Amino acid sequence: MRSERAALLGLAASVVAAGALAAPYEDPAARTRVTPFDNGLTILTLEDHTTPVVSFQIWARVGSGDEARFTGLAHLFEHMMFRGSTNLAKERHQQLIEERGGQLNAYTSRDETVYYTDITPEHLPLVVALEAERLANLDVSQASLDDERQVVIEERRFRTEDNPEGRLFEALMALTFQAHPYRVPTIGWKSDLEKVSVAECRAFFDEYYAANNLVVSVAGDFDTEALLALLQRHFGALRKAEQIERNPTEEPAQNGERRAVVHFEVAGPIVAMAWHAPATGHADADALDVASEILSNGRTSRLYRALVYDKPIALGAAGGYWELARAGLFFAFAQVRPDVSADEAEALLAHEIERLRNEPVTEAELAKAKRALEVGLIVGQGSSNALASRIAGEWLAFGRIRPLEERLAAVRAVSAADVQRVAQHWLEPSGRSVVQLLPPPAAPEQHP
Amino acid sequence: MSLRLAALVLLLGLGCATPEWAKPTIPEWEKSPPPPFDAPVVQPGRLHRETLPNGVRVLVLEDRRLPAFSLGVLITRGAGVEAPAEAGIAAYTAELMESGAGQRSALELAGVVDALGASLAVSATWDSIGAQVAGLAEDRDLLFDVLADVVLRPRFDVHEAERVRAESLAALRQAADDPSTLLGWNFASTLYAGHRYGLPESGTPATVAKLDAAAARAFHHRVVTPGAAIVFASGDVDPAALLERIRRTYGAWQGPPLPDVGPPPPVPQQRHIVVVDRPDLGQAQIGIGHGGIPRSDPRRLEVQLLNGALGAGGFSSRLMARIRAEEGLTYSVSSQFVQRHRAGPFAVFTFTRVPKVGEVVTGILEELERIRREPPSAAELARVQSQRSGQFALALETSAEVAGALVDLDLYGLPPDSLDTYRGRVRAVTVEQTSAVARDLIDPARASIVVVGPAELLRPQLEPFGDVEVVQP
């Protein structure tokens, strides 16, 4: 059995080692080939024959942040993309892929809508043909829309209306962003979902699903030349849009704390707070990532120690930096134990944020956080889907694929002073928005 | 040949093969699928297995694509061996194994792992307790030691035991906020009253309140034993060196014999209808089902294909087609045969807006009846067979996934070559076999119905199906 001293030496050695990987590591995404088509479509291909799987993804540069009149339209439209086309009945697309063992799905965020199919490579021609069919010949009928809006309203009930975390998050975004379209939930408000029309859907498609607003990203087991020829045949004639409108609204400065209370049938409260943070690609992003790790990563993180372990008032506590294309958010939250007041948890959360602002983080914390970020960057690309997502996400955000070494170097360069500086700049108490989700007023749990 | 004649010949396709451009284009979706891609799951020479003299099974899968590795120990017994009165002891023991081991306290243990950017997790399921570390390959020696401490030398410190118990009790109270968790708990208690399967996997407030360090230590001694252990590793490893280290570390381990998996669950033969009253909900959670099969049931493959056609095949399945695609009544509906060491439930789970619950229950019961009366046709079965073969390749893309699948076979005593024979066995299943399991294993007449939502609005919708019992959450 190892001695106490040996164990401590092991800990010390690991701390020293942290932050610098022993061996250089080849970035698999470095082999990505970028092929622009004449119609503005961008094709990203990353050929790798290690396993017989390919991930085919279409990234549309449109999310709920682009909605103008009806909220939830970007996400509802994502559903409509599965409701059939001129030559295929509704849901036939999914069935054809599922019957071949493929996995396909889609998701919508505030900035983009992503459609992906993971499948064995012999079916890639079918995937390309199906994607081209729905982009060229999508059927947006009244009957389809009426069915699908009910499905989305059920999804909204499931994710938000009957879900305490969903309610809390919706309130936090609406409180933090008072002008910017990020304030609106991606799934939309129910009243909008009930009223959106076929004409609105069609106009949305015409505007945002043009070739020059799409990126095709493919990673895995395929032949690049053959695939590009196939894509040229199926996607080369897609329409190009002259202009794609974006919401111009920017969030004005927040001068003073904002607060909200949401009541919900819960045993214990949830407290969340958020600050405005920079959009993706900002020079402070890496230091904010390091701050997130120090607050939240693992059982030695500050929030776990403060709220879950040392003073056990919460079942979980975490925080993080959420970078979006046009604005960002830094947040912290705690799932408070049933017999504890939300105010007590809020005070501890606020105290930990103030610590980040008032004193430099320790070298051990800094090294640990940077190491976790480095490991995440390296091991998070084990599947074709992860690689296709990484290259497409980087292309949309930066117009290039940042080399892994560049990402690692940026993380390694963050100092304790950087973390304190970004905390002081971005995490001011007067820029904070706080939401407490509490049991209904009559419930005895509220004031034990 | 005149120009006119040449044109006519061309139009009639006489005298020469139709040129490529003049052929009608067959859409890809109307072509027959190409033959499935059949490749060995594990590249030759990459997998190393052995069994140590004390019964510990070892499995090492080398894959140097990423400079990362994972290492774990799976114990082939879990919450299923608990007596109902000690429900939750497996999960509690797992949490305590992670909360201090060897010379390290809980925080020191977490400190070592966090400093490496690595992960350590110990958790219990119905059938197993699993401890696993993962990180960069260059840190494998230290992580190996951490894992050995966690599995072989957990401390069960009293103050940690009290902390974990209090946290577990609070977590149980909070988990009851979630309607789908409430459904799972009440569905289990409706089907398996009196049996361990009838209580939540993590125990109840009454059973967890009695747990302490001594109970966890005793459970660890009884269950975490060499005969129940599978040590597995995957990723960037040197197999010879790692195997030698595993032999040195786990070879001398001694413990009691492998405990029995626990008694089989009795299942009611009559329908029970239970409403868990949550007047605040606008959406009701619905569970419908009865008893199922154990993981070792020889019909498991036929059951898997049948269930793919019924409700586990996404938009190709009958339930999804009817309840979501045709009627727009839900966002998600699926069926499952939960297979454990003992027979777990057959269940359909979904949710819908409260006024539509009766309609959804009717639809599900009709589909259960229909799959008996009109079992999957040859074409339907062929689609599911193709689906499963393709999904199989996708689920085994990374070495960690392959290692996990191989360990899962060992956990249930299934043939070690099951992965390599899987596609062939799937193709060999016949319509007669899936029809037989539909008749034998699905029976809507005895399916219980459990719904979480406002009882006042649900009761009248459910009374046409039988007597309704309303319970409080």
B338: CATH: 3.30.830.10
Kindly state whether residues A427 and A287 are assigned to the same domain: yes
pLDDT above 60: residue A47: yes
Kindly state whether residues B284 and B245 are assigned to the same domain: no
- Residue where a domain stops, chosen among A235, A266, A292: A235
Structure tokens at A37: 């088509």
Kindly state whether residues A76 and A186 are assigned to the same domain: yes
Total domain count, chain B: 2
Question: In A, which residues are within 8 Å of B37 by CB distance?
Answer: 52, 120-122
Determine the number of helices (DSSP H) and then strands (DSSP E) in chain B.
17, 14
Which pLDDT tens digit goes with each residue over A51-74? Answer: 889 999 999 999 999 998 899 999
Kindly state whether residues A38 and A88 are assigned to the same domain: yes
What's the average model confidence in pLDDT over A120-133?
Answer: 95
In a domain, residue A285? The reply is: yes
At position B48, the amino acid (one-letter code) is H
In a domain, residue B368? The reply is: yes
Kindly state whether residues B235 and B316 are assigned to the same domain: no
Kindly state whether residues A310 and A413 are assigned to the same domain: yes
In a domain, residue A329? The reply is: yes
pLDDT above 80: residue A301: yes
Top residue of B42, B183, B331 to mutate, by most chain A CBs within 10 Å, is B331
Kindly state whether residues A69 and A161 are assigned to the same domain: yes
- Residue where a domain stops, chosen among B186, B217, B250: B250
Across the interface, of B163, B179, B391, the residue whose CB is closest to A312 is: B163
Nearest of A269, A349, A338 to residue A307 by alpha carbon:
A349
**Phi and psi angles of residue B45, each rounded to the nearest 5 degrees, phi first:** 85, -10
Question: In A, which residues are within 8 Å of B138 by CB distance?
Answer: 17, 21-23
In a domain, residue A46? The reply is: yes
> What pLDDT score does B472 carry?
95
Kindly state whether residues A214 and A279 are assigned to the same domain: no
In a domain, residue A21? The reply is: no
Nearest of A269, A291, A268, A266 to residue A278 by alpha carbon:
A291
Q: ipTM score here? A: 0.84
Does A382 contact B393 at a Cβ distance shorter than 8 Å? no
A152: containing domain: 30-235
Kindly state whether residues A108 and A163 are assigned to the same domain: yes
Strands A214-220 and B333-339: unpaired
Question: In B, which residues are within 8 Å of A381 by CB distance?
Answer: 66
Kindly state whether residues A368 and A402 are assigned to the same domain: yes
Question: In B, which residues are within 8 Å of A92 by CB distance?
Answer: 29
Displacement of CA A68 from its chain's centroid (Å): 21
In a domain, residue A23? The reply is: no
In a domain, residue A263? The reply is: yes
Kindly state whether residues B422 and B278 are assigned to the same domain: yes
In a domain, residue B264? The reply is: no
Kindly state whether residues B229 and B347 are assigned to the same domain: no
DSSP-H helix ranges across B106-157 = 106-115, 140-152
Distance from CA of B384 to the nearest CA of A (A): 6
- Residue where a domain stops, chosen among B235, B250, B265: B250
Q: Which helix (H) or strand (E) holds A345?
A: helix A342-358
Kindly state whether residues B319 and B460 are assigned to the same domain: yes
Please tell me which residue, B29 or A195, carries the higher pLDDT value. A195
Kindly state whether residues A400 and A291 are assigned to the same domain: yes
> Is B136 part of the contact surface with chain A (CB cutoff 8 Å)?
yes
In a domain, residue B279? The reply is: yes
> What pLDDT score does A24 carry?
61
DSSP letters of B35-54? PPP---SS-TT-EEEEE-TT
Does A14 contact B139 at a Cβ distance shorter than 8 Å? yes
pLDDT above 50: residue A14: no
Strands A432-438 and A270-277: antiparallel
Mean pLDDT by 10 residues, chain B (473 residues): 41 42 71 73 88 97 90 98 96 98 97 95 98 95 98 98 96 92 97 96 97 98 97 96 98 95 90 96 96 96 97 89 84 94 97 96 97 96 91 87 95 93 94 98 97 98 98 95
DSSP letters of A131-150? HHHHHHHB---HHHHHHHHH
Kindly state whether residues A118 and A189 are assigned to the same domain: yes
- Residue where a domain stops, chosen among A204, A235, A266: A235
In a domain, residue B17? The reply is: no
Question: In B, which residues are within 8 Å of A146 by CB distance?
Answer: 328
- The B residues from 154 to 183 touching A (CB cutoff 8 Å) are 163, 166-167, 170-171, 173-174, 176-179
Kindly state whether residues B242 and B306 are assigned to the same domain: no
In a domain, residue A382? The reply is: yes
In a domain, residue A216? The reply is: yes
Q: What is the pTM of this model?
A: 0.88
Kindly state whether residues B306 and B174 are assigned to the same domain: no
Kindly state whether residues A168 and A304 are assigned to the same domain: no
Across the interface, of B114, B145, B167, the residue whose CB is closest to A300 is: B114
First to last CA, chain B: 89
Question: In B, which residues are within 8 Å of A300 by CB distance?
Answer: 107, 110-111, 114
B242: containing domain: 47-250
In a domain, residue B34? The reply is: no
What's the angle, vertex CA A360, arms to CA A359 and CA A362, rounded to 5?
A: 125
> What pLDDT score does B326 carry?
77
- Residue where a domain stops, chosen among A235, A268, A294: A235
Across the interface, of B114, B177, B324, the residue whose CB is closest to A164 is: B177
Kindly state whether residues B299 and B181 are assigned to the same domain: no
**Phi and psi angles of residue A99, each rounded to the nearest 5 degrees, phi first:** -65, -20
Kindly state whether residues A227 and A299 are assigned to the same domain: no
Kindly state whether residues B291 and B384 are assigned to the same domain: yes
> What pLDDT score does B313 carry?
79
In a domain, residue B1? The reply is: no
Displacement of CA B219 from its chain's centroid (Å): 24
> Is B286 part of the contact surface with chain A (CB cutoff 8 Å)?
no
Does B116 contact A378 at a Cβ distance shorter than 8 Å? no
Structure tokens at A35: 């092929």
Kindly state whether residues B103 and B141 are assigned to the same domain: yes
What's the angle, vertex CA B149, arms to CA B147 and CA B155, rounded to 5?
A: 130
What's the average model confidence in pLDDT over A211-220?
Answer: 97
Top residue of B26, B132, B136 to mutate, by most chain A CBs within 10 Å, is B136
Kindly state whether residues B233 and B277 are assigned to the same domain: no
Kindly state whether residues B311 and B206 are assigned to the same domain: no
- The B residues from 217 to 276 touching A (CB cutoff 8 Å) are none
In a domain, residue B320? The reply is: yes
Total domain count, chain A: 2
In a domain, residue B255? The reply is: no
**How far is Cα A97 from Cα B95, in angstroms, rounded to an integer?**
41
Structure tokens at B272: 């029970």
DSSP state of A85: B
What's the average model confidence in pLDDT over A29-56?
Answer: 95
Q: What is the CATH number of the domain that holds A413?
A: 3.30.830.10
> What pLDDT score does A8 carry?
31
Residue in chain B nearest A230 by alpha carbon: B28
- Residue where a domain stops, chosen among B203, B218, B250: B250
pLDDT above 70: residue A7: no
Residue in chain A nearest B314 by alpha carbon: A98
**How far is Cα A71 from Cα A190, in angstroms, rounded to an integer?**
9
